[in-house]
Structure formats: C-alpha cells, structure tokens
Amino acid sequence: MSRQLTRSRELQNRAEKLLPGGVDSPVRAFRAVGGAPPFVERGNGAYLWDADGNRYIDYFGSWGPMILGHAFPPAVEAVQRVAAHSASFGASTAAEVELAELVVKAFPSIERVRFVSSGTEATMSAIRLARAFTGRKYVVKFEGCYHGHSDGLLVKAGSGVATFGIPGSAGVPEEIAGLTLALPFNSLLAVEAAFAEHRGQIACLIVEPVVGNAGCIPPEGGYLQALREIATREGAVLILDEVMTGFRVALGGAQELYGITPDLTTLGKIVGGGLPCAAFGGRVEIMKMLAPLGPVYQAGTLSGNPLAMAAGIATVGHLIEQRDEVYPALESLSAAVADGLAAEAAKAGVAMTTNRAGAMWTWFLTPGPVTDFATASSSDTAAFARFHGAMLDRGVWLPPSQFEAVFLGTAHTTDDIEQTIAAAKDAFAGVLAA
C-alpha cells in the first residue's frame, strides 16, 4: 500500500528552512524509522488525519495524555468556554483549586501539589526540592528513564537520546552531569552499591516506575518496594516520575498499581487533558519548602493557566467518576491488541518480546526478555523501522522509535484492534517474515 504525502512533504521542506531539522521535537523527524513524517491536520477519538487526508489509527496519543481520545467533547467545551474569558491571567483562579482537589483524590501520596507547564519543569523542581530538603547533592536515576531535558537528567536518558544514539547532550557541563548517578533499572545491587559509595550524599532517587522511555519496561516483583525501603533507610527522597504512568496504568498511577508510596510524584500533560500542563507534589513537609512558604524558588506565569485547568478538570474528573468502566475497558483492549499482534509475529517467525503495563506497552523486536535499557537495546531497530513504515502505510501510526511506549485510549474500538492486528499480519508477511 502507499499513501499520498504531497502536502506533508511540502510542509516538511518549508519547515526545514525555519526550524532545526524541520521539527520542534526531535522524534517527529522520523530519523529512526525513515520516510516522510506526516503533518497532522486534525484528530478525533482514536484517529489522526494528515495534511493529505490520510487517516490513521493513533497509538501514541500525543505521547500518552489522550487517554480519552482526541477532542474529548467535555474538554473541548470547557476550553472553549474558558477561552472566551482569556487564555491567561498570571493570577490565581478557582479552577486551580478544583483540579488540585481532583489530583489529591486520585493520588493519596500527594498532600500538596503545584502545577507547572511541562514534565521537565516538574521533575527539575522535584529534584531541587529533594536537594533542599536533604541538604545533599547527588541524584540517582536509572538508565533509559527520561525525566525531561534539564541539564542533570539527560545522562543515559533513553527515549529521544537513545533514538538518536546520543549518550547525553552537548552543552551539559561535566560538573553537572557528574552529580547524576545513572544505574541499571531493576538492579537493586547497583542501588545499594551507589549508596555505599556516596554515603550520606544522595538526595533522591528518581524513577519511572514503569519505564516508558526505553520502551515499556515494568518493574520486577518487589523492586519498587525495595527502592522505597532503601530511600527511607538512607534518608533520601523517593520521586516517582509518573508523567507517563499517572492516570494511565491505574487512576492513581503506578503507585496505586504496585502499592508504593513515594515522597514526591511528578505528573505530565494528562493532568491538563493534553494541554501544556504538568504537576509535582507530595509530602507536606517537603512541599512547604517551596516559595512563598520556604526557600526553594519556582515560578511560572503560565503555571495553572485557565485553559489547561479547564481541560484537566474535564479529563481527570471523568476518569475519577468513570474509573470502574474506564480502566477495565483499557485493560481489555490493550491486552487484545498487544497479545493479538504478538501472536501474529510468532506465526510469522518474527522474534518479538511484548512488555505491557495496563494501557501502555512496547513490541520489542528481540527474543527478550527485556528488563532494562541494555536488553531493550538488543532490539533490531532496522527491522522496527521497516515494521513502522509498513504499519503506517496500512493506516496504523505507532510511535516512531523502538524506544517509545505504545498508548491506547478509551476511544479505540474492537474494530480498531482487529484492523491493527490484520495490518500487522500483512506487515510481517511483507517486510519481517523469517
């Protein structure tokens, strides 16, 4: 099959004369999978339409937040209503309080919360708080986990830097990078060794409880609980980066799913219904160190902006009210498509490992198992590029990198699942069959 991409190619050529690489975020350039990146014109429910009129079943959902589908009507109506009064005030509104109440209801570990505009701001601020609270400087992160693009967190950050083969980022002084200890995910021995070597100097551990930026990698049994115990024993702050998992793998995120209580939590744009919004929050005694109560400064004119708050209230409110319907449906549909496609791969003799946590997963083109970034890196990325292109030609848009998670939402239907599995069967026979 082939798609007409005349308009998208024209737009890409124009963009490359104005934007670095023609994009405002690197993975959009399709460098890891090849081919021309479609320019999106609109979305509705589970579908995207590009500038040439091609329709796709969307399995990346703006990288996670479109859990209720594109243009979720209550969110659209709320944004339209609020926009008539202004897009920004730079002053407090009642909507901030209302959304904060919903977040705290869904995440009991969050006793106080602050809204920001991006996941990068949330994780950067959480780490600053942890350092202030403990009086320590070192940060433990895990290989393949991406916590935004602030200087100290780009060390072995998975996702985009993995896609482009970049070990970190130019422009980050080694003095800053040296304060980040990057350890293999799912290895408790490495964590114990780091605390032994830097005794009394580690401020926090920050972890994606389900890695989503090296592909989906769930924690092994007891791993997160052990991190909690080590952090408590060593007087360090445990930060769960739930930018991807929050409201997705369960209403209360991975901390609900796995029964873990962090000191601080970071949440991404799903909290704002897909608009530029994020949050960080946790224990009162840590959060009260934030200005204006304490000495840790963090500010933002667009923090808690009325458009994001309106969309967030509509989205999070719906998830809370309909949790008994939403999450079982997501689990059922996710299992059907993840397992169904894996079964077709097995029939075609394609080496594949499927990792899934709720409504996020990855099909790794490797025999597996995949338990950390090193094993994820054994995937056949060239084969994935061919698979991605073949699926796109058949109207299924997967994340354009082997090192990204797939996301599904409530707008997907059983017909979408059947079409996806049929497209994969076709793709395997055409480009990947042994």
How does DSSP assign 306-335, residue by residue? HHHHHHHHHHHHHHHHTHHHHHHHHHHHHH
What is the rounded CA–CA span in Å between residue 388 and residue 382?
10
Domain shared by 159 and 272, yes or no = yes
Among residues 321, 338, 361, the one where a domain terminates is 321
Residue 68 belongs to a domain: no
Domain shared by 273 and 345, yes or no = no
- Residue whose tokens read 């996301």: 407
Respond yes or no: is residue 269 known to be catalytic: yes
DSSP-derived letter for residue 84 is T
CATH of the domain at 146: 3.40.640.10
Which pLDDT does position 172 carry in this prediction?
Answer: 75
Residue 67 belongs to a domain: no
Domain shared by 192 and 341, yes or no = no
Residue 359 belongs to a domain: yes
Q: What's the angle, vertex CA 134, arms to CA 130 and CA 137, rounded to 5?
A: 75
What is the rounded CA–CA span in Å between residue 38 and residue 333?
26
Residue 1 belongs to a domain: no
Residue 66 belongs to a domain: no
Domain shared by 261 and 311, yes or no = yes
Considering 59, 138, 156, 269, which one is annotated as catalytic?
269
Among residues 321, 353, 377, the one where a domain terminates is 321
Domain that holds residue 304: 73-321
Burial 220-257 (b: 16+ CB within 10 A, else e): eeebbeebbebbeebebbbbbbbbbbbbbbbbbbbbbb
What is the rounded CA–CA span in Å between residue 344 and residue 6?
33
Number of domains in the chain: 2
Respond yes or no: is residue 288 known to be catalytic: no
Domain shared by 150 and 231, yes or no = yes
Domain shared by 336 and 293, yes or no = no
Considering 146, 223, 258, 327, which one is annotated as catalytic?
146
Which pLDDT does position 164 carry in this prediction?
Answer: 37
Residue 245 belongs to a domain: yes
What is the rounded CA–CA span in Å between residue 253 and residue 360?
12
What is the rounded CA–CA span in Å between residue 421 and residue 305?
40
Residue 65 belongs to a domain: no
Residue 301 belongs to a domain: yes
CA atoms within 13 A on the CB side of 220: 11
Query: Are the beta carbons of 245 and 224 closer than 8 angstroms?
Result: no
Low-confidence ranges of the chain (pLDDT < 70): 1-2, 151, 154-169, 433-434
This prediction's pTM: 0.94
Strand intervals (E) in 12-76: 40-44, 47-50, 55-58
Domain shared by 221 and 315, yes or no = yes
Considering 50, 58, 241, 263, which one is annotated as catalytic?
241
Among residues 321, 341, 372, the one where a domain terminates is 321
Peptide bond connecting 292 to the previous residue in cis, omega within 30 degrees of 0: yes
Respond yes or no: is residue 50 known to be catalytic: no
Sign of CA dihedral 335, 255, 272, 326: positive
Which pLDDT does position 177 carry in this prediction?
Answer: 80
Count of all residues that appear for the chain in the document: 434
What is the rounded CA–CA span in Å between residue 402 and residue 215?
7
Query: Are the beta carbons of 144 and 213 closer than 8 angstroms?
Result: yes
What is the rounded CA–CA span in Å between residue 248 and residue 126?
21
Q: Give Cβ neighbours of residue 99 (< 8 Å, ≥ 6 apart).
A: 115, 271, 309, 312, 313, 316
Among 231, 259, 279, CA closest to 117: 279
CATH of the domain at 418: 3.90.1150.10
Domain shared by 197 and 227, yes or no = yes
Which pLDDT does position 163 carry in this prediction?
Answer: 38
Domain shared by 302 and 348, yes or no = no
Which pLDDT does position 2 carry in this prediction?
Answer: 65
Domain shared by 194 and 290, yes or no = yes
Domain shared by 168 and 107, yes or no = yes
Domain shared by 239 and 159, yes or no = yes
Going from the C-alpha of 51 to that of each of 3, 18, 392, 400, the distances in angstroms are 12, 19, 15, 18
